[in-house]
């Protein structure tokens, strides 16, 4: 719809044009049952009210709302280069704006609300990159995102059934609740064959089903929201385990394998035993055994409901037989954890041209996907994400050797990659390397030298990643096996960092300087146990730890 305005202005005269607009859709809960005309009337009335209030009033109201809901509620202050502060605020701005916190039938699109890339679909980006920000700062929003997954179970059941499996197999790309899998089947043209490229993720990038289970658990561990678990969480996690149990394949070695998958590193298609996938599947089954036993003992009514829905008793027996047979790859002689059964044996080529590339995806100009799959080159963090999620399973030396092995082979062609590498660099004791990665991650959408990188929309998950760099990497925050740890690692460019977090409903203010961490609890509630720089503490009001 076009509007034309004509007016005469004198040279030097200022003209101010105020435009009021609003958007309503038939999916808005408050417009349910409205006819098209009723919706139009509703929207028009709202516009007239806005116009009557005037631009300045609306601007002031908006600023107050942002201040109360975001800047005062989740204050993050970096005493260091101004750009770093700007970048984290830009990340918070987008995370707030793009998250449909008002409606649990919706989730976050991979491009937020800023562009049409990925058609607004939701990926693992939510659970692994964005959810932690909300869990630690706005748990009610995190719960809504989790409820979306629960409400999407019918689509996940349909996908599992279609593929000949049981339980819930979550779609790689997800949209409206009952849509099920919405990943496009083909995209782009193969430079070698000239044919359309098949998008295998929708068929075999199956780790999403473990990521969903992990997200629910992380939410529960940090918030202690038992109501969520009773209504949704247990069922969600157990249904995921049910799928995995039916997906495991017995091998000739007596182990259970997961063959023909795409792991997080999408440059490797049709691989067997992707480490990230297998370890998280093992973790999901382990948790399912623990929770189904616990629910049976402590909540018999809930247990019989879940048993009726999922067939829990027989399942637990199967899970117990399976869990220790799952093939879990072990570090090689150099301490490197193999990403899958073939990666370390693939051809090594000189990647310097692509490591220096100005635009992502340069390797596709020289090789097609089939060829890339045969080269030791990664699109994004894979084993590194595993180290982040199940940190306590892997020794320091394995993380170090694996970082040194995989990072030079990783092109960071996905915007999800740099932040994980940054956090891991801090974990292996190199915050300067972490800072270098963080600085690059800040530029993903903010780089003036690369103005078209966001044409299809901003890179939503990278904003959760930036928060992880600042608060998890440099700020040292982590939930590990249900326990809180705050072991900061400031880069030299930062003199001080402060942030807040919610731990089981208690608000904590954290201030970090290079050699000190101070943690204050806003209300003196239950004592909190946490680990700081390798030592355990219990505190109620204030804890100050100085580094030796």
Q: Which among 266, 478, 450, 442 has a CA at the least distance from the CA of 364? A: 266
Question: Does residue 165 bind ligand IFM (CB under 6 A)?
Answer: no
Q: Which of 147, 173, 205, 266 is catalytic?
A: 266
User: What's the CA dihedral at 169, 174, 178, 183 to 10 degrees?
Assistant: -80
Question: Does residue 265 bind ligand IFM (CB under 6 A)?
Answer: no
Nearer to ligand IFM, 155 or 464 (CB): 464
C-alpha span between 364 and 377 (Å, rounded): 12
Residue 72 backbone dihedrals phi, psi, to 5 degrees = -80, -30
- Backbone dihedral region of 248: left (phi > 0), alpha (psi from -120 to 50 degrees) or beta? beta
DSSP string, 41-84: HHHHHHHHHHHHH-HHHHHHHHHHHHIIIIITTS--EEES-HHH
Helices (H), 390-459: 396-406, 417-427, 431-446
Question: Does residue 414 bind ligand IFM (CB under 6 A)?
Answer: yes
What the block records as the tokens of 139 is: 């748990």
Among 261, 416, 425, 545, binds ligand IFM (CB under 6 A): 416
Q: Using DSSP bridges, classify how beta strands 483-486 and 496-503 pair: parallel, antiparallel or unpaired.
A: unpaired
CA 479, 485, 487, 493 dihedral sign is positive
x/- track of binding to ligand IFM for residues 374-413 (CB under 6 A): ----------------------------------------
Nearer to ligand IFM, 288 or 384 (CB): 384
Nearer to ligand IFM, 128 or 258 (CB): 128
Q: Which residues contact 400 (CB under 8 A, 6 or more apart)?
A: 335, 428
DSSP string, 109-146: -TTTTS--GGGG-B-TIIIIIIHHHHHHH-HHHHHHHH
Tell me if 492 sits within 8 A of 509, measured CB to CB. Answer: no
Q: Which stretch binds ligand IFM (CB under 6 A): 50-58, 118-126, 239-247, 499-507?
A: 118-126
Residue 497 backbone dihedrals phi, psi, to 5 degrees = -140, 135
Nearer to ligand IFM, 118 or 474 (CB): 118
Q: Which stretch binds ligand IFM (CB under 6 A): 54-62, 121-129, 386-394, 495-503?
A: 121-129
Nearer to ligand IFM, 215 or 476 (CB): 215
x/- track of binding to ligand IFM for residues 202-231 (CB under 6 A): ------------------------------
Q: Which stretch binds ligand IFM (CB under 6 A): 80-88, 122-130, 267-275, 426-434?
A: 122-130
C-alpha span between 100 and 28 (Å, rounded): 11
Among 70, 78, 110, 236, binds ligand IFM (CB under 6 A): 110
Q: Please, what's the largest Cα pairwise distance for the chain?
A: 86
Q: How many helices (H) and strands (E) does the chain have?
A: 20, 13
Active site residue 173: no
Question: Does residue 123 bind ligand IFM (CB under 6 A)?
Answer: yes
- Gyration radius of the chain over CA positions: 25
Among 461, 479, 502, 517, binds ligand IFM (CB under 6 A): 461
Q: Tell me the site size for ligand IFM, rule CB under 6 A.
A: 9
Nearer to ligand IFM, 209 or 223 (CB): 209
Among 146, 147, 211, 266, binds ligand IFM (CB under 6 A): 266
Nearer to ligand IFM, 203 or 539 (CB): 203
Nearer to ligand IFM, 303 or 364 (CB): 364
Tell me if 546 sits within 8 A of 514, measured CB to CB. Answer: no
Among 91, 124, 241, 477, binds ligand IFM (CB under 6 A): 124
Q: Which stretch binds ligand IFM (CB under 6 A): 100-108, 117-125, 240-248, 450-458?
A: 117-125
Nearer to ligand IFM, 166 or 407 (CB): 407
C-alpha span between 410 and 417 (Å, rounded): 9
C-alpha span between 51 and 18 (Å, rounded): 9
Nearer to ligand IFM, 118 or 220 (CB): 118
Q: Using DSSP bridges, classify how beta strands 477-480 and 483-486 pair: parallel, antiparallel or unpaired.
A: antiparallel
Residue 513 DSSP SS3: strand
C-alpha span between 386 and 380 (Å, rounded): 12
Tell me if 536 sits within 8 A of 525, measured CB to CB. Answer: no
Interface residue list for ligand IFM (CB under 6 A): 110, 118, 123-125, 266, 414, 416, 461
Would you please indicate which residues are annotated as catalytic (active-site) residues?
266
């Amino acid at each position: 719809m076009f509007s034309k305005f004509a007016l005469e202005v004198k040279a030097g005269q200022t003209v101010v044009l105020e435009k009021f607009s609003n958007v309503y859709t038939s999916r808005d809960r408050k417009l349910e049952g409205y006819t098209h005309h009723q919706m139009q009337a509703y929207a028009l009335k709202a516009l007239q009210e806005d116009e009557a209030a005037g631009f300045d009033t609306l601007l002031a109201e908006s600023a107050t709302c942002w201040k109360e809901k975001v800047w005062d509620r989740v204050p993050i202050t970096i005493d260091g280069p101004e750009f770093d502060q700007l970048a984290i605020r830009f990340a918070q701005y987008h995370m707030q704006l793009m998250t449909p916190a008002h409606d649990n039938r919706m989730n976050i699109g991979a491009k937020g609300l800023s562009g049409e890339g990925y058609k607004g679909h939701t990926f693992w980006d939510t659970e692994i990159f964005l959810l932690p920000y909300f869990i630690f700062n706005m748990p009610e929003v995190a719960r809504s995102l989790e409820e979306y997954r629960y409400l999407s179970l019918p689509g996940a059941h349909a996908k599992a059934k279609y593929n000949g499996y049981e339980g819930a197999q979550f779609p790689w790309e997800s949209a409206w609740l009952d849509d099920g899998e919405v990943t496009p089947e083909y995209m782009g043209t193969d430079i070698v064959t000239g044919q359309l490229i098949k998008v295998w993720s929708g068929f075999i990038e199956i780790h999403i089903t473990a990521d969903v289970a992990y997200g629910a658990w992380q939410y529960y561990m940090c918030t202690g929201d038992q109501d969520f678990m009773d209504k949704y969480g247990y069922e969600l996690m157990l249904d995921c385990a049910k799928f995995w149990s039916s997906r495991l394949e017995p091998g000739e070695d007596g182990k259970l394998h997961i063959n023909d998958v795409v792991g997080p590193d999408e440059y490797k298609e049709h691989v067997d035993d992707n480490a990230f996938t297998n370890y998280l599947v093992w973790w999901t089954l382990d948790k399912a055994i623990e929770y189904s036993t616990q629910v049976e003992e402590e909540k018999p009514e809930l247990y019989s409901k879940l048993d009726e829905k999922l067939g829990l008793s027989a399942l637990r027996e199967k899970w117990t037989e399976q869990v220790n047979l799952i093939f879990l790859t072990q570090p090689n002689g150099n301490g490197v954890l193999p990403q899958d059964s073939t990666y370390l044996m693939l051809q090594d080529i000189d990647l310097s041209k692509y490591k220096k590339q100005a635009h992502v995806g340069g390797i596709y100009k020289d090789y097609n996907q089939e060829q890339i799959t045969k080269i030791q080159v990664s699109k994004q963090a894979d084993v590194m994400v595993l180290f982040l999620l199940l940190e306590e399973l892997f020794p320091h030396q394995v993380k170090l050797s694996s970082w040194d092995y995989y990072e030079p082979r990783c092109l960071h062609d996905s915007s999800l990659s740099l932040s994980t590498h940054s956090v891991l660099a801090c974990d292996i004791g190199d915050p300067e390397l972490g800072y270098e990665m963080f600085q690059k991650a800040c530029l993903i959408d903010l780089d003036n030298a690369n103005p078209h990188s966001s044409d299809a929309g901003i890179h939503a998950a990278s904003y959760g990643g930036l928060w992880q760099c600042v608060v998890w990497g440099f700020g040292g925050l982590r939930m590990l096996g249900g326990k809180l740890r705050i072991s900061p690692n400031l880069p030299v460019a930062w003199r001080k960092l402060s942030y807040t977090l919610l731990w089981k409903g208690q608000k904590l203010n954290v201030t970090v300087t290079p050699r000190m961490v101070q943690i204050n609890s806003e209300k003196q509630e239950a004592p909190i146990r946490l680990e700081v720089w390798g030592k355990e503490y219990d505190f109620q009001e204030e804890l100050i730890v100085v580094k030796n």
